[in-house]
Structure 1
């Protein structure tokens, strides 16, 4: 496609900025330790240098998990500050765990460590606040405003315009839409007049009257888009293409390369590269800690099952896991039967197969606790779409749009759908559709912070529900 090759001439300095921001954070954390040691009169020996290395590694790792160095121009300042603070907290937690395991906590001064943390926290906040105020002041003075034009009075063009209006911190000033079609063929909800034909936008870009240009034409207009990009090739305007289809279905969109050909991922797992390592580390650490803490509860439940009904304590049922591969999910047995065939009847209210003690386990989700074994083994995650029986998968994949995309990630013990009340029996198609909707929202917006939020909310509202039988 010609326009993809042509688009490569337009570059962004976001990568350069993110490298500078990483360097600045590392410098602040390092200088904070030096200042704390100097203030308390402690020499920076090999032990302190080791602690510095652990904190820097922990900070860098967690920062990537929180996506701390993404562009925050359209983000909320308080979110950026909170993520920076949480990143520092997690890095110091990692330090204390490391120091405890290798038995050198006694060689560290509590005063120095406290001062170090406080200095670093204040430093990370101050530079971000200073940068924020500086940029906002420049935009108020009109010194950092960017003139924006949108080619295409389409639905995707209207969506971009609404975001520009909603986020004045972007520093964008929209001069209008540019469109060649007749007014009756334009998108109905257009809130801005068409400033002129597309040729006017191209000419304004050539004269330097436009800084950013959004192309919101449909994919089928490839020849028109290629022609526009060819004429913009000798300008310095920043060009962004806004796709007109599957905007809500792109669960993890990114540009990839196959040789010299650029591709746009449409259906892809968010856990690629470093993110996969972050997710697996989260599952191993949190899963192992939870298994250790709940071991007395597991033992008590096992005794309760043996005393109240005949049969084994555990029940392993076939489920679809990552990429749709079959896995065996661990559960406490809550029924008098051990159904694991191609035709599994879903539990319903007052189901005669459920034992009295099993009913309690199911209502409180305690029957799911053995799945932390699946998490540690790598078959499941703590947070992710709940696994369905194989027969239910085969039934609903034909009825619910994008159903199988939930298998782009590992199934979870808890999930965004369960937090929002879509758990238990799915006796109607609408219930399953809502569950899938929330599952795909989780996959699309995954972050380490999102996982922590879901885990926290599960403690208060995720274990019980009216639909759990």
Structure 2
């Protein structure tokens, strides 16, 4: 992949959010001092400030407003900030009126706070914007792009390839490293994966007429095993491909074929959810884990934990823990799925697998950052190699962290996948979850897992 560090851009997103909240709090108390000349703030003012800051945080975070802020033009950031600010403080003011407590608060204080905090938040965004420009001048926080285009766009013959590249090169946060004319005789779509790996490419931009569906399908198929971002920029101002997110990249429109809601701030929210819940659960299950470990040691020879490599987020190889449920054996480099009445499974292991207690150590994988509580279940590496050419978009399961439970599991698609159709159904549910992620969906899946219980007829 390219040199862009996703953890660094995620860190900038968090830093901007923290800066916004800090400025909201500081200006609230600064406005109080300006109005009253002291910091003897009554408790009901503390309560109002806390409530307003929480409302503002919700308005700023919801709908991914922080996601990709490092590629959004500054003017658009200001407009978005103003709309969300008016929403938050408008709701806050209505709340004070509805509760009939608005007369307790100084209107001068409230007006001073709203105006000063908004101006400072605008200055903060300007500071971050110019800080990013400074870093980008040295090659940091840039995403490296491979641009694929048609030499003579339909209906755009007056616009040559040089103009197209010049227009797209002005987009903040991206560097077009290589351009390839799809009409060229030497262009071979099957060479793209090797070219991407060799060039450290982070994104592939495809700009062709909307009618060129065959060329788009060929490229998408050639890159089906790649985890780079793929953007289709049709040479039309309007389109009806509403299945994917549509964003504007300079003068062009981009259909983000591999976009998931789990980008930007949503990724931070999901990771925070994992850390909090896994830490609490990890402490609560310590006695159970100790008892299971003792039982395994007393009933069979071998290690307590079974460790196996799986593919994690972005295809990275990770080590996943489970309580050992089988007798110690060797499989000569192959992985065989457990089947019903499998004689490799011990009597204790059968109970652990039936109740899913063998997966409790994976909460520590979650704390480590290797897994998530909710997400696609990780498959054996050899199964990934086998199914990636048989199941459409199979590898896109690895766009996010694998999970302990998931949308497929609560809908009955767990356990042995002894037919191709079962695997297709599981992957279809996994991809639906990725495309439709929300914090509420995660909580719903966790609740359903607890409500339906860990015991399932397909668990053996």
**TM-score, scaled to structure 2:** 0.52
Answer yes or no: is the 8 Å Cα contact 2:307–2:320 preserved in 1.
yes
Answer yes or no: is the 8 Å Cα contact 1:66–1:448 preserved in 2.
no
SS state at 1:394 partner: helix
SS state at 2:211 partner: helix
* Equivalent in 245, 255, 259 of residue 247 of structure 2: 255
Matches within 5 A, 1:288-299: 288-299=279-290
- Matched with 2:108 is none
- Matched with 2:420 is 429
- Matched with 1:243 is 241
Query: After the TM superposition, which segments of 4 or more aligned residues of structure 1 sit over 6 Å from their partners?
Result: 119-123
Matches within 5 A, 1:228-377: 241-243=239-241, 247=243, 250=244, 253-255=245-247, 257=249, 261-337=252-328, 342-377=333-368
What does the per-residue CA deviation read over 1:124-165, in whole Å, with 9 as the maximum and x for residues that have no partner?
A: xxxxxxxxxxxxxxxxxxxxxxxxxxxxxxxxxxxxxxxxxx
Task: For 2:252 and 2:375, locate their aligned partners in 1 and report how far apart those are by CA, in whole Å.
Answer: 33
Residue 66 of structure 1: CA displacement?
5.9
Residue 54 of structure 1: CA displacement?
4.9
Matches within 5 A, 1:5-24: none
Task: For 2:98 and 2:297, locate their aligned partners in 1 and report how far apart those are by CA, in whole Å.
Answer: 56
Please list every run of 5 or more consecutive structure 2 residues that lacks an aligned counterpart in the other structure.
1-23, 29-38, 66-91, 100-208, 214-232
Answer yes or no: is the 8 Å Cα contact 2:279–2:367 preserved in 1.
yes
Residue 269 of structure 1: CA displacement?
3.6
SS state at 2:423 partner: helix
Matches within 5 A, 1:64-463: 67=63, 219-220=210-211, 241-243=239-241, 247=243, 250=244, 253-255=245-247, 257=249, 261-337=252-328, 342-461=333-452, 463=454
Answer yes or no: is the 8 Å Cα contact 1:419–1:462 preserved in 2.
no
Query: What number of residue pairs does the alignment pair up?
Result: 273
Answer yes or no: is the 8 Å Cα contact 1:321–1:380 preserved in 2.
yes
What does the per-residue CA deviation read over 1:322-348, in whole Å, with 9 as the maximum and x for residues that have no partner?
A: 111110001111111366875200000
Answer yes or no: is the 8 Å Cα contact 2:388–2:394 preserved in 1.
yes
**TM-score, scaled to structure 1:** 0.51
SS state at 1:361 partner: helix
Relative to 1, partners in 2 of residues 1:372 and 1:332: Cα closer, same or farther, differing over 3 Å? same
Answer yes or no: is the 8 Å Cα contact 1:319–1:387 preserved in 2.
yes
Please list every run of 5 or more consecutive structure 1 residues that lacks an aligned counterpart in the other structure.
1-25, 31-42, 70-115, 124-217, 230-238
Task: For 1:443 and 1:276, locate their aligned partners in 2 and report how far apart those are by CA, in whole Å.
Answer: 12
Answer yes or no: is the 8 Å Cα contact 2:262–2:434 preserved in 1.
no
Measured on the aligned residues, the alpha-carbon RMSD in Å equals: 3.8
Relative to 1, partners in 2 of residues 1:242 and 1:345: Cα closer, same or farther, differing over 3 Å? same
Answer yes or no: is the 8 Å Cα contact 1:279–1:448 preserved in 2.
yes
